[in-house]
Amino acid sequence: MGKRWNGWGRDTEDQPLGERARRFLGEGIGEATPWPSATRQAALQAVVASRLPASTRFDTSAAVRLDHAFGQSMPDWIAVRSGRVGRCADGVAFPSSHDDALAALDEAKRLGAIVIPYGGGTSVVGHLRVPEVDRPVVNVSLEKLAALQGLDHTNLTARFGAGAPGPAIEAALAPHGLVLGHYPQSFELSTAGGWVVTRSSGQQSLRYGRIEQLFHGGRLATPRGTLAVGGLPASSAGPDLREAVLGSEGRLGLLTEVTLRVRPRAAHERFHAIFFPQWDVGLDAVRELAQSGVALSMLRYSSAVETETQLGLVEGHERAMAWLARYLRWRGVGEGACLLLAGVTGSEREARFAHTALSDIARRHRGVPAGTSIGRSWAKNRFRAPYLRNALWDAGYAVETVETCVPWGEAGAMLAAIEGAGRAALAAEGERVHAFTHLSHVYRQGCSVYTTLLYRLAADPDANLERWRRLKAAASLAVVGGGGTISHQHGVGADHAPYLAAEKGELGMALLRAMARELDPTGMMNPGKLFA
């Protein structure tokens, strides 16, 4: 079972686009025209010849270079789907130890090459993009650094190679009754190292914590040698150098080893569905839940448009959906309904207490409980949702996502700003954009705002790239204009780099550049990501 070379996920997995979904999209956006995608053979023929010498530790075959050259951002998709792959990295290294990674960096330095780390290839913001430079470029893949290297039952820490993907991590912990609990939507393919260097957040971070709470320590192979960070429960001995590695996106070096904080597996887990009659009422309930300290693992709150979209794309359950609609109307929830999925995870005693508190707060805000069947379906398919992107592309539609984090009082305004900017971005050429939003993560002080933008593809790859640029710029400007972070969970990469200074400020950007210069004096590590 291998990775799909020109789309999302495993090549044996599919998420078909049903007739009900096609009708929904046709009515909301317009009928789309599917455009043929380039064959793998055509893409391989388009790979530009390597600039590396014949004798090198880097694999220079076209197939290996193509398979490590692209992530999941829209420019990446346009390149592989059109066959206009152009300049991939000139070679790929596969270190099997920390010392191997240091040796790969030494050889790259000798060759005068730029180094782009490769983990799971799931970046949606251009972390893997090859810069237009005269120097050779190499990928260093961490896929051979994926094993459990050590487990400390007493202190509840587990050390993994940084290339370990989510399923391998949980599979290694399961026989010991332990769990990490970090479940980003990219869980199947994304890696521990990738989570750390992009400051990832899992769907159940309300219980388990974001990756910055789970990252205990690690080792970084840098152009100047090894940097070891963390490893203690706590320290007041100056700035925490783990924070320099978190979110560093390959600019400081290659993260080869990650020690993570794990915990015993919970005995109970259920995902409850609650419908609210309108956005503001449900938002108040979600904020109260987040600030109350109720031991929930997830609060995922969808706008009315997203709720309608989710239910509109369901295939094969029309009778159940019709019954649900009648039930909700009878309970006073009709048009404008907003769906909350709440995760209750813990011991049986914790779960009883949390469910009681959840029910009480929801009831006071006119929430209507709808059981756990919707939640079970969501949990079963939550890592399959990105596969729909393949089917949408094949049907002539593109998907872009924009996510940020703001204080509670600004959530509604940010939602409206992003969706409004997205809908207006392509209006000049007569194209409609279907925009819908949910709050994916919550905190006492605020929440993330995650917007999906669906639109039609053009026949020409250049036109598609220009459409995406206009859409991405409009939504990003709405985010920074409203005071939100340019990324809550996807990282910065190349796509968000122009907007980072709005959050960090001039002096903050200077500090980031200074850290990179100290560990990477020649600027060989992933240039163009985080900052120019």
β-strand 368-369 against 434-439: which pairing, if any? unpaired
State how far the Cα of 56 lies from the Cα of 107, in Å rounded to an integer: 8
Instruction: Write out the two tokens for 17.
Output: 């686009």
Phi and psi at 449, nearest 5°, equal: -125, 115
Would you state the pLDDT for residue 351? 94
Break the chain down into helix, strand, coil percent, rounded to 5.
40, 20, 40
Which residue, 365, 343, 363, is CA-closest to 354? 343
Instruction: Write out the two tokens for 185.
Output: 């939507």
State how far the Cα of 454 lies from the Cα of 439, in Å rounded to an integer: 18
* Beta carbons within 10 angstroms of residue 420's beta carbon: 14
Helices 19-28/304-312 angle, 10° precision: 140
Torsion, CA 273, CA 278, CA 279, CA 280, rounded to 10? -120
Q: Which amino acid is at 451?
A: T
Full pLDDT tens readout for the chain, 532 residues: 689 999 999 999 999 998 888 999 999 999 999 989 999 999 999 999 999 998 899 999 999 999 999 999 999 999 999 999 988 999 999 999 999 999 999 999 999 999 999 999 999 999 999 988 899 999 999 999 999 999 999 999 999 999 999 999 999 999 999 999 999 999 999 999 999 999 999 999 999 999 999 999 999 999 999 999 999 999 999 999 999 999 999 999 999 999 999 999 999 999 999 999 999 999 999 999 999 999 999 999 999 999 999 887 776 677 887 888 888 889 989 899 999 999 999 999 999 999 999 999 999 999 999 999 999 999 999 999 999 999 999 999 999 999 999 999 999 999 999 999 999 999 999 999 999 999 999 999 999 999 999 999 999 999 999 999 999 999 999 999 999 999 999 999 999 999 999 999 999 999 999 999 999 999 999 999 999 8
Helices 279-292/348-364 angle, 10° precision: 140
Query: pTM here?
Result: 0.97
Rounded to a whole number of angstroms, the CA Rg of the chain reads: 23
Overall residue count recorded for the chain in this entry = 532
